[in-house]
């Protein structure tokens, strides 16, 4: 479900930048609330999510590289759930 929410947020994101008037209201997105413009907050969330996804991919690549260093017997032990002694 989290993936579906992120996809929905990406669909709702307006790439047009905020434009603030002298009162600090976002004229580009029609936001006159006390909090920052929802589009600005949405961009922050999506940027954080993209960074997290990249980091997760980098971690997965590092784990894959570590697995490739193991011998076939160690890989078999890992698959079977047996402890690997160094």
Per-domain residue ranges of the chain:
2-80
Residue 33: its pLDDT value, please? Answer: 85
Residue 85: its pLDDT value, please? Answer: 66
Find out whether 32 and 25 touch, Cβ atoms under 8 Å.
Answer: yes
Torsion angle, CA of 52/7/36/14, rounded to 10 degrees? 120
User: Which stretches does DSSP call E strand in the chain?
Assistant: none
Find out whether 31 and 37 touch, Cβ atoms under 8 Å.
Answer: yes
3-state secondary structure of 59: helix
Q: What is the CA radius of gyration of the chain?
A: 22
Residue 67: its pLDDT value, please? Answer: 67
pLDDT 10s digits, 11-55: 888 989 999 999 989 999 999 988 889 999 898 888 888 888 777
């Amino acid at each position: 479900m989290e993936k579906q929410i992120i996809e929905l947020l990406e669909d709702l994101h307006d790439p047009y930048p905020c434009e603030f008037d002298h009162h600090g209201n976002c004229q580009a997105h029609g936001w006159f609330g006390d909090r920052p413009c929802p589009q600005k907050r949405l961009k922050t969330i999506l940027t954080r999510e993209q960074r997290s996804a990249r980091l997760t991919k980098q971690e997965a690549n590092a784990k894959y590289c570590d697995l490739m260093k193991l011998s076939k017997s160690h890989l078999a032990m890992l698959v079977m759930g047996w402890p690997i002694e160094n």
